[in-house]
Amino acid sequence: MRISVIIPTFKRPDYLAKALRGLAGQLRPADQIVLGVREEDGGTAEFLATSAYAVTTATARKPGVIASMNAALAKTDGDIVCLLDDDAEPLPDWLQQIEKRFAEDPRLGMLGGRDLLRDHPEMRDREPLTARVGVFTWYGRFLGNHHRGGGGYRRVDTLKGCNAAARGDLLRRIGFERGLRGEGAQVHWEIALCLDVAAAGFSVAYDPALRVIHHIAPRYGVDQSHRGGFSAEGLFDMVWNEHYVVSRRLPAGQRIRHALWAVLVGSLDAPGLVQYARLVLRRDPRRKERFAITRRAIREGRKAGCA
């Protein structure tokens, strides 16, 4: 099998160096590495001009990770296309494990693994492992937990894009969802891709033995989810994207349960009624703003997805 790796990157050359260093140390080397680079990112261009890494670059002429990934994907020729964030450093057996899994199962469409988060190392090292990873529950909630997945190789509903791989022909045919909001990370593109892979008749699987060290680089733009910041626009985009994706791809029953969960319960970041009550008890100064933004994003995202 021929293996391509795509890395979308934007103004993070110090972190990109770690990702490329991890790829250079693979037991099974990559056949092709393609970077999706935005045309205004002069810092990355300067870094690549003086580095010794053999990479191909693809220029993205629009903001956002989707444009960068689609530009990079168009230049790939691998039987397998691996997806790696520019702040994720793969362990030496990463590509070897990926090739093995795809060779074993011809119906495997997409594979992902564990990202070892380094934002709060002491806390992360104490976190208990869980088997509930990448699950869309019967009551309509998406569970992540990819960073602390335990157990063995199994099928899941969703993966995390910082550590994933897909069959090349399948991924090039599907592409990455272009209708998402945002000019940065464009949260929830992974949900769209995993649902599209499953709809094409292929399985989506998670293997906690497939690991990368996730260094958690800063994000540029309004999207500060999982970076400790708050942006009204970033929150709206995050919630809108999720409901847009679900409304376009899931059957009516699942769409209804998903909407009910979001409206009645939600999360502390995007509160429904239950989580809003928790924010009141915590005296969160942004509780009313979060609640109002979430309700509007749910309504407008669902409307756009059903259009």
- What digits encode the pLDDT tens for the residues 19-30? 999 999 999 999
Of 122, 111, 181, the C-alpha closest to 146 is: 111
Query: For the chain, what percent of residues have pLDDT higher than 90?
Result: 90
Say whether both 84 and 131 belong to one domain: yes
Considering the domain boundaries, does residue 18 fall inside one?
yes
| Co-location of 86 and 177 in the same domain | yes
Burial class (CB in 10 A: 0-12, 13-18, 19+), 92: exposed
User: Does residue 104 form part of some domain?
Assistant: yes
Task: Name the pTM for this structure.
Answer: 0.94
Q: How confident is the model at residue 58 (pLDDT cuts 50, 70, 90)?
A: very high
- The reply to whether 106 falls in a domain is yes
Say what the pLDDT of residue 54 is: 92
**224 located within any domain:** no
Contact 223, 231 (CB under 8 A): yes
DSSP label at 37? E
pLDDT at 259 over 90: yes
Does the residue 132 lie in any domain? Answer: yes
| In the chain, % of residues over pLDDT 70 | 97
CATH number of 119's domain? 3.90.550.10
Last residue of a domain, one of 145, 180, 214: 214
Q: Which of 214, 247, 264 is the last residue before a domain boundary?
A: 214
The β-bridge relationship of strands 108-117 and 163-167 is antiparallel
User: Is residue 226 included in any domain, yes or no?
Assistant: no
How does pLDDT run across 158-175, given as a tens digit for each residue?
Answer: 999 999 999 999 999 999
Domain edge (last residue) among 156, 185, 214: 214
Q: 40 and 98 share a domain?
A: yes
Segment 188-196 mean pLDDT = 97
For residue 261, give the amino acid letter: W
Could you tell me which of 131, 242, 164 has the C-alpha nearest to residue 8? Answer: 164
Q: Which residue range forms the structural domain that includes residue 247?
A: 232-306
**In this predicted structure, what is the pLDDT of residue 243?**
98
List pLDDT tens digits, range 138-151: 999 999 999 999 99
258 and 120 share a domain?
no
Q: Which of 223, 231, 300 is nearest to 262 (CA)?
A: 300
Distance (Å, whole) CA 72 – CA 57: 7
Same-domain check for residues 20 and 156: yes
Given a cut of 90, is residue 246 above it in pLDDT?
yes
For 117-138, the pLDDT digits (tens) are 998 888 998 999 999 999 999 9
Q: Do 177 and 300 sit in the same domain of this protein?
A: no
Q: Does the structure show a pLDDT above 60 at 226?
A: no
Per the structure, the count of domains in the chain is: 2
pLDDT confidence of 225, banded at 50, 70, 90?
A: low
Q: Hey, which residues does 89 pair with through a beta bridge? A: 213
99 and 65 in a common domain: yes
In a shared domain, residues 56 and 85: yes
Closest CA to 156 of 178, 134, 139: 134
- Whether residues 57 and 197 fall in one domain: yes
Instruction: Give domain status of residue 73, yes or no.
Output: yes
Please tell me whether residues 11 and 140 are part of one structural domain: yes
Q: Check whether residue 137 and residue 172 sit in a common domain.
A: yes
DSSP conformational letter for 207: E
Do 174 and 70 lie in a common domain? yes
